[in-house]
Amino acid sequence: MRFDDGLLQLGRPLPPLDPSALPGAGRPDWVQADPRFIERALARANARSGGGWVVVDASANVTAAPRRVRRAGRDWVVWRTDAGPHLAPDACPHMGAPLHDAKVEDRCLVCPWHGLRLGPAGRGDWRPAPTFDDGWLVWARLLDDEAPTDAPTLPRRPEGAIGGVIGMEARCEAEDVIANRLDPWHGAHFHPHSFARLELLEVDEDVLRLRVSYRVVGRVCVEVDATFHAPTRRSIVMTIVDGDGVGSVVETHASPVDSAGPRTAVVEATLATSDRRGFGLVRQLAPLARPLIEARARKLWIEDCAYAERRYALRVGRSPT
Ligand code: FES
Ligand SMILES: [Fe+2]
């Protein structure tokens, strides 16, 4: 614990910085946040295929009860059996009944209108999509304009993490969500409730490294070094690389809901770990920690969705709201 420029820093001290050696030495954030750099970093992210995979929902939200979800411009029904998650068109191939109202028997949906049984093997044009459950998130391979891969690209995740998953929708495209996170310079200005200080340590078009003082409460902070990288055009990952919680990640995934509008689902998983003694106890309290983790993530994303929506409106020449 130490005082530093009016902040009470908890946690492990980090190597001291030489301010004159930082990439932004002495320049204000609005000068450092160079839109041309952000566009170049975004172009590099956009070149990375997502293998056709999009996030459907948190794994915990995909249950035995069929539910409707909209992704890639279509309505789907998602349900879980002992074989894992399933996702298929939400219209019965007979006369179009909504299958999220179906009963489930022996892994099959039983259509509520005339009793047709529809299972993971499909029927005619009615075909379940490939799905993947990574333990935190359920994915489906729905985009056919990318070379398909057997599984989604996942970042390295900590073992035995505690965490939470939030989801919301933004009226923009996936690239606007990624662009928001490729601009870390906005953090302490736009989210002063969460970030007391933020300094860029390395500015690279593929990986940004920064030191961030995250507010626990008021002037009490935890300072860590973290990186941001976009493994695909629809995902961006923050990884703690020094300080407390090394290996913890915050993964943000942007999945197209509708191209008209457009609408994008923002699903974010926060997976925290620690090598501190006592983390085992925290792990046992994970169900209590989850709502707190999710509330903080949601608060940030309400603001960042506004940022992403405004970016979209400006770039397509629509009057921003
Ligand atoms: S609409 Fe589904 S069985 Fe007729
Ligand atoms: Fe933000």
How much distance in Å is there from the Cα of 266 to the middle of ligand 2? Answer: 13
Paired with 141 in beta bridges are 53
Q: Which residues contact 285 (CB under 8 A, 6 or more apart)?
A: none
Ligand at shortest distance from the CA of 212: 2
Angle at 136 between CA 50 and CA 256, to 5 degrees: 40
The distance of Cα 31 from the centroid of its chain, to the nearest Å, equals 28
> Nearest ligand to the C-alpha of residue 181?
2
Q: Ligand 1: does its nearest atom lie under 6 Å from the Cβ of 102?
A: no
pLDDT, position 125? 94
Specify the ligand 1 atom closest to the Cα of 112. 2
* Amino acid letter for position 251: E
Q: What is the CATH topology of the domain spanning 2-50+155-315?
A: Alpha-D-Glucose-1,6-Bisphosphate; Chain A, domain 4 (3.30.530)
pLDDT at position 283: 85
Q: Which ligand does the CA of 302 lie closest to?
A: 2
pLDDT at 219: 86
**Residue of 92, 99, 108, 125 to mutate, ligand 1, most atoms within 8 A of C-beta:** 92
As given in the structure block, the two tokens for residue 6 are 């009016």
Which pLDDT score, from 0 to 100, does residue 280 have? Answer: 83
Which of the ligands is closest to the CA of residue 236? 2
pLDDT value for 24: 86
Q: How many CB atoms lie within 10 A of CB 44?
A: 15
Predicted local distance difference test score (pLDDT) of residue 8:
80
Return phi, psi of residue 218, to 5°: 55, -125
The residue behind tokens 């005619």 is 124
CA–CA gap between residue 54 and residue 14 (Å, rounded): 37
Residues in the chain where the model's pLDDT stays below 50: none
Query: Would you state the CATH architecture of domain 54-141?
Result: 3-layer Sandwich (2.102)
Q: Select from 113, 117, 118, 126 the residue to mutate for testing ligand 1; criterion: most ligand atoms less than 8 Å from CB.
A: 113
Q: How much is the pLDDT for 73?
A: 97
Q: By CB neighbour count within 10 A (0-12 exposed, 13-18 middle, 19+ buried), where does 41 fall?
A: buried
Is 92 near ligand 1, meaning CB less than 6 Å away? yes
Q: Cα of 258 to ligand 2 centre, how many Å?
A: 23
* Sign of the alpha-carbon torsion through 135, 137, 142, 148: negative
Query: pLDDT value at position 321?
Result: 65
For the CA of 95, the nearest ligand = 1
DSSP code of residue 51: T
Smallest CA separation from ligand 1 atom 3, residue: 114
Ligand 1 within 6 A of 111 CB? yes
Round the CA-based radius of gyration of the chain to a whole number and report it: 21
SS3 179: helix
Find out whether the beta carbon of 296 lies less than 6 Å from any atom of ligand 1.
no
Helix (H) or strand (E) holding 250: strand 249-258
Q: Where are the domains of the chain?
A: 2-50+155-315, 54-141
| Secondary structure of residue 238 in the 3-state scheme | strand
What is the CA(168)–ligand 2 centre distance, in A? Answer: 15
Consecutive H or E run containing 38 = helix 35-46
Containing 9, the helix (H) or strand (E) segment is: strand 7-10
CB of 116 shorter than 6 A to ligand 1: yes
**Cα–Cα distances in angstroms (integers) from residue 273 to residues 8, 239, 270, 279, 313, in the given order:** 22, 11, 10, 8, 38
Distance between CA atoms of residues 33 and 37, nearest Å: 8
The pTM for the full model equals 0.95
Ligand 1 pocket member 117 (CB < 6 A): no
Q: Whose CA is nearest to atom 1 of ligand 1?
A: 95
Confidence at residue 71, expressed as pLDDT on a 0 to 100 scale:
98
- Residue 118 in contact with ligand 1 by CB distance below 6 A: no
